[in-house]
Structure 1
């Protein structure tokens, strides 16, 4: 018989709604509490997404005190992380966090220490790691079929003012922090630990937009300790209404061209002929990551992408922005 899992959700925007839907599709999982910025928002979420089954709160600590939870999903903007993770971990509650896990590594280090010190299961919402094609390339790298990873070339582009907090660097950290961190995380996922970083950013198309203090153009070069390299560029000046993430990974025996985490063309170059394979999947990566988290919580699978991975990728994008703020000065990545 499956162990019943009681889950609370803090942060009731798009990601909170998405996770609620997937949680409720897993046998034995209940969303028993939800916490929003106001009680009215929490009550509306409860009715819309749990059929009124969950208790509604406007204060996170009150929710933890009154509820008996096995796990909590923390889907808050970067600026809103104010001890929720530490509070949950201190009560032995597993945590799923959306990225970026904090606005800076000082806060993230405290969060990581609390989770690891309490020994609770954790997972960061790097959903691209769960893409069918991404998982296949990772497997081929690990078993040696792909050969030596040498280069990651990533690009992210969109064109949106987003919400007011997103456009304020003091609240979101900027596009590199809040969006492109997914691509930086993939580079680390395939190539390992960074060594040296140099980055550049600019606001070229939103100088007149009220309250817009984040970059809309960025580029970074990263050398990894293995000797592999990555180039990652991003733009918020591209096609309105489109969010595009593409990347290429070149290994000594395989080149992989990704149009998404699920879709890629693999060209195997280790033999006498270049063999091509196409991977196309409709896998719901958000559902897959939640299935993995619940499995780890039940002891039925490994802990995938724990909080320390969120700290590592946060440190990388923080280094990119530190470099950009100092006219591209090379930054050493230190764990």
Structure 2
């Protein structure tokens, strides 16, 4: 029996996930939901048997879906997830979970009450290289970790709008924050500084910071710094993390892994597509109820989202923000 899939969002990631799903055995894309019927039908035409809709309720009323992929801008989260939770339909959602904490917090409570299967698109967790880093770090004493996401301004209008995107640290650099948590453990305190260096002068419609740096203290005593910028000219970019430990250094990026332990150097490259691996894990859970292969569910992703939102709060207020243990999820 084929798993019947709906996709919400007609941008690059809606198509990206759809292209992967359409090549998987036992999966059928039945419906696409967009902000307009024209956009939805245009994307639906790329997948055999799919139909376009302009409202989530219409899509769900017309189809018996086993799971839904949510690929929308950060500011569009809330209504879509609430409707899926109400109907007890498992969903995969692209990061981040929103632009603030209130909507994800309320959704998390509802998700947990339903014991609903969820997965969040922190795809780096599914790479072989990150799994290797996690294993090596478990045998080390970590000192300091430095992370970065340095690039150019994405060419979509919503990304430039702080209200819709949440800014670079919440929308993009969240991947690096998530890897820090996944590899090194939970974060106790953040102190951030964001600024506008050049982009707003060239384009007054830009309301996001174009530079930022965030210091963090982890529960295990590790300290970390994660910096980002979106002012580089295309196609320049530099993304990755360097872990400094009592055994040497681990230097990770999406394209390679370099390890220098006690004078012995080694290199590693990934061979698998992490986007496919994360979907395989999610769909396995939908089929069987076994969610053990999902490496980031909504609860876990909410912990990453708390950190990125705290960084924005810290930069806005100019003070450190302490992330105390609480009962929120």
What is the alpha-carbon distance in structure 2 between the residues aligned to residue 289 and residue 283 of structure 1? 11
| Structure 2 gaps, min length 5 | none
Does residue 280 of the first structure (1) align with residue 278 of the second (2)?
no
2:157 partner SS: coil
| Structure 1 counterpart of 2:300, from 305, 309, 325 | 309
Map of 1:222-301 to 2, 5 A cutoff? 222-260=216-254, 262-269=255-262, 274-299=263-288
For 1:320, the equivalent position in structure 2 comes to: 311
> SS of the residue aligned with 1:226?
coil
Q: Deviations over 1:262-317 (max 9, x none)?
A: 51012233xxxx32221112422212211121122223661320001221111101
Give deviations 1:133-192, integer Å, cap 9, x for gaps.
Answer: 111111333xx4x32333221011112253221111011111111111111111111121
Contact 1:7–1:71 under 8 Å retained in 2: yes
Q: TM-score, normalised by structure 1?
A: 0.92
SS at match of 2:242: strand
Per-residue Cα deviation, 1:60-86 (whole angstroms, up to 9, x for no partner): 111112211111000010111132112
Q: Indicate if the aligned counterparts of 1:85 and 1:115 stay in contact, CA closer than 8 A.
A: no
Counterparts of 2:50 and 2:301, CA distance in 1 = 29
Structure 1 partner of 2:83: 87
Q: Which runs of structure 2 are paired with 1:32-181 in the superposition (5 Å)?
A: 32-48=30-46, 50-51=47-48, 53-141=49-137, 144=138, 146-160=139-153, 162-181=155-174
Match of 2:21 in 1: 23
The answer as to whether partners of 1:132 and 1:263 remain within 8 angstroms in 2 is: no
- Alpha-carbon distance between aligned partners in 2 of 1:326 and 1:301, rounded to the nearest angstrom: 39
Provide the C-alpha distance between the structure 2 equivalents of 1:246 and 1:229, rounded to a whole number of angstroms. 16
TM-score by length of 2: 0.93
1:193 and 2:166 are equivalent in the alignment: no
Deviations 1:248-275 (A, max 9, x none): 1223335211132x51012233xxxx32
Contact 1:293–1:304 (8 Å) recurs in 2: no
Report how many residues are paired.
322
User: Which piece of structure 1 moves more, 71-80 or 292-301?
Assistant: 292-301
Structure 1: give runs of 5+ residues left out of the alignment.
none
Cα distance in 2 between the residues matched to 1:138 and 1:296? 23
Q: Which residue of 1 aligns with 2:321?
A: 331
